[in-house]
């Protein structure tokens, strides 16, 4: 078996580390699928919360769970869009990466609005959480307007 | 029908869904203001994304047939409509003809605006006259050479264009007729949601059935009530909600072009008008027409996780 020189070992090691850093969260296609699933869950909880708030369905006691889930999912939405996950089967617009500071500001807004909604739901007062839900919905829409292409 | 203002206020109180009072600035001052927003004129005539002055000319609209720039429609005498008379405006909207007699490209949706009533056209004109003039020159459309002669447009019109105000259907109720008028004339949904043929004319058999070749490379969904490819599974209240907040029944949100239209137009309609649009859309014949690309199937011999 040929022996590896120390310098070769170091080079391979460094390359392997670089590779690991570049793919810290996975293969780009897998990241895209992962974020689509997370965003689907985000939407599903929003739709479920909306149905309860609008009185279409009962399940009032479950609202707090949907609100908690929304707050958890929106803790760092921007992290679902790492560099290199901009090609492939994604509906994300280029601005997600080219206007990163603004995109991250929007993600922080979603976090603030989902936190505020969860806090308001915890009070059990519909007069408080109704408007907070509307603010969260507006935050979602505003970000999709600028950063999400209509579905393909 | 009540005055638009009264209808708006009545509609606003019906908006108890999330119980948010509309900011004062969003209350339309009059019928012309309301129509201007409903018709989304600003979308093509104001470059909002680049903070361009109102009505002084719009952003590039990329289509499969070239890139169009909505012109200056502020009352500026040199670059806008400052020298126009009301009759010029009505002729432009109803017949798609400039004051000098040249034809407009159908990127200006006169095929829909022709259906506006005289009263509504006059209200829109009065609204435009009140806006501040902006001396900003127009950008010429960027078209392939074979589409540059405007004389070609008379052929297009002969093939696809029927001028004339919307005629209400006496066999349908007031809500349906209002919805039909909004969809087919004011909010001109079909301009994007109806696919076009090779000459850029609407394919009538696929009215509102969606297209993969929407403006700015967008995929425009089928909004006929087909259960498989359209909005046949949406409840009326869900369409109303979407037009108000942009949220779909799955909790997804409108993006890109449609999100802009919801912001500018449909979220500012009265609740009664959103209800009318939903009523009309769900009454249309369902057309099976898929616009989304098929999901890729996993390679043979592999299951969905690729093992």
Domain ranges of chain A: 26-147
pLDDT at A5: 58
DSSP string, A111-130: HHHHHHHHHHHHHT-HHHHH
pLDDT bin (cut points 50, 70, 90) of residue B6 is very low
In A, which residues are within 8 Å of B262 by CB distance? 141
pLDDT average, residue stretch B64-68? 93
pLDDT at A87: 82
Decide if pLDDT at B13 tops 50: no
Give the H or E element holding residue A4: none
Measure CB to CB from residue B253 to each of A89, A134, A141 and give the nearest one: A141
pLDDT average, residue stretch B250-274? 94
In B, which residues are within 8 Å of A44 by CB distance? 250-251
pTM metric for this prediction? 0.83
What is the predicted ipTM? Answer: 0.76
Q: Decide if B220 and A48 are in contact by the 8 Å CB cutoff.
A: no
pLDDT at A46: 97
pLDDT average, residue stretch B288-300? 64
pLDDT bin (cut points 50, 70, 90) of residue B227 is very high
pLDDT at A8: 56
In B, which residues are within 8 Å of A93 by CB distance? 256
3-state secondary structure chain B: CCCHHHHHHHHHHHCCCCCCCCCHHHCCCCHHHHHHHHCCHHHHHECHHHCCCCCCECCEEEECCEEEECCCCCCCCCCCCCCCCHHHHHHHHHHCECCCCCECCCCCCHHHHCCCCHHHHHHHHHHHHCCCCCCCCCCCCECCHHHCCCCHHHHHHHHHCCCCCCCCCCCCCHHHHHHHHHHHHHCCCHHHHCCECCCCCECHHHCCCCECCCHHHCCECCCCCCCCCCCCCCCHHHHHHHHHHCECCCCCECCHHHHHHHHHCHHHCCHHHHHHHHHHHHHCCCCCCCCCCCCCCCCCCCCCCCC
pLDDT at B4: 45
pLDDT at A6: 52
The secondary structure of chain A in percent helix, strand, coil, rounded to multiples of 5, reads 75, 0, 25
* Structure-model confidence comparison of residues B292 and B249, the more confident one: B249
pLDDT at B33: 96
Burial class of residue B45 (count of CB atoms within 10 Å of its CB; 0-12, 13-18, 19+): buried
Closest CA to B108 of B196, B38, B43: B43
Closest CA to B102 of B91, B87, B115, B112: B91
pLDDT at A99: 95
Q: What is the pLDDT of residues A109-124, one digit of tens each?
A: 999 999 999 999 999 9
A62 vs B91: CA distance, rounded Å: 57
In B, which residues are within 8 Å of A91 by CB distance? 255
pLDDT at B17: 46
Closest CA to B102 of B136, B62, B148: B148
Q: Which two tokens stand for residue A18?
A: 């670089």
A64 vs A126: CA distance, rounded Å: 12
Q: Decide if B258 and A150 are in contact by the 8 Å CB cutoff.
A: yes
Q: What is the pLDDT of residues A132-145, one digit of tens each?
A: 999 999 999 999 99
Decide if pLDDT at B130 tops 50: yes
pLDDT bin (cut points 50, 70, 90) of residue A88 is confident
Measure CB to CB from residue B218 to each of A56, A131, A149 and give the nearest one: A149
First-to-last alpha carbon distance for chain B, in angstroms, is: 64
The mean pLDDT value of chain B amounts to 88
Torsion-angle region of residue A102: left (phi > 0), alpha (psi -120 to 50) or beta? alpha
Q: Decide if A145 and B250 are in contact by the 8 Å CB cutoff.
A: no
Measure CB to CB from residue A150 to each of B241, B256, B293 and give the nearest one: B256
pLDDT at B296: 42
CATH superfamily of A26-147: Cytochrome c/b562 (1.20.120.10)
Instruction: Please give the C-alpha separations between residue A110 and each of A66, A93, A115, A143, B22, in angstroms, as whole numbers.
Output: 15, 18, 8, 9, 21
pLDDT at B293: 64
Share of chain A above pLDDT 90, in %: 73
pLDDT average, residue stretch B248-271? 94
Q: What is the pLDDT of residues B67-77, one digit of tens each?
A: 999 999 999 99
Q: Which two tokens stand for residue B151?
A: 């004389």
pLDDT average, residue stretch A53-75? 96
């Amino acid at each position: 078996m040929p022996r590896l020189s120390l310098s070769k070992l170091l080079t391979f090691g460094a390359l392997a580390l670089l590779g690991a850093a570049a793919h810290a969260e996975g293969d780009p296609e897998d990241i895209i699928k992962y974020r689509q699933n997370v965003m689907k869950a985000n939407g599903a909880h929003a739709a479920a919360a909306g149905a309860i708030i609008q009185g279409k369905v009962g399940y009032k006691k479950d609202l707090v769970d949907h609100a908690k889930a929304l707050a958890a999912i929106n803790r760092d939405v921007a992290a679902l869009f790492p560099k290199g996950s901009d090609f492939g089967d994604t509906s994300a617009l280029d601005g997600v990466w080219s206007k990163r500071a603004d995109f991250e500001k929007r993600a922080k807004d979603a976090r603030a609005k989902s936190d505020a909604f969860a806090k308001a739901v915890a009070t059990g007062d519909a007069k408080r959480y109704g408007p907070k839900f509307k603010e969260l919905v507006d935050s979602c829409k505003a970000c999709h307007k600028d950063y999400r292409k209509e579905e393909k | 029908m009540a005055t638009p203002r009264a209808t708006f206020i009545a509609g606003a109180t019906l908006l108890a869904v999330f119980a948010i009072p509309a900011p004062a600035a969003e209350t339309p001052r009059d019928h012309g203001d309301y129509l201007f927003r409903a018709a989304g004129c600003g979308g093509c005539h104001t470059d909002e994304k680049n903070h361009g002055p109102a009505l002084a000319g719009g952003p590039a609209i990329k289509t499969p047939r070239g890139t169009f720039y909505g012109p200056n429609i502020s009352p500026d005498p040199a670059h806008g409509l400052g020298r126009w008379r009301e009759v010029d405006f009505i002729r432009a909207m109803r017949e798609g003809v400039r004051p000098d007699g040249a034809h407009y490209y159908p990127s200006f949706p006169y095929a829909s605006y022709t259906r506006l009533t005289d009263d509504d056209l006059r209200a829109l004109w009065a609204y435009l006259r009140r806006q501040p003039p902006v001396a900003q020159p127009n950008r010429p459309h960027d078209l392939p050479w074979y589409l540059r002669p405007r004389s070609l447009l008379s052929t297009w019109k002969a093939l696809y264009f029927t001028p004339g105000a919307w005629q209400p259907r006496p066999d349908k109720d007031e809500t349906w007729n209002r919805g039909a008028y909004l969809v087919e004339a004011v909010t001109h949904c079909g301009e994007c949601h109806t696919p076009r043929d090779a000459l850029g004319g609407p394919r009538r058999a696929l009215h509102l059935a969606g297209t993969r070749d929407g403006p700015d490379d967008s995929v425009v969904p089928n909004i006929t009530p087909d259960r498989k490819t359209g909005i046949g599974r949406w409840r009326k209240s869900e369409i109303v909600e979407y037009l108000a907040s942009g949220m779909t029944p799955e909790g997804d949100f409108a993006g890109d072009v449609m999100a802009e239209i919801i912001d500018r137009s449909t979220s500012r309609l009265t609740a009664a008008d959103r209800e009318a649009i939903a009523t009309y859309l769900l009454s249309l014949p369902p057309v099976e027409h898929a616009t989304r690309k098929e999901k890729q199937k996993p390679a043979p011999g592999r299951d969905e996780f690729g093992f």
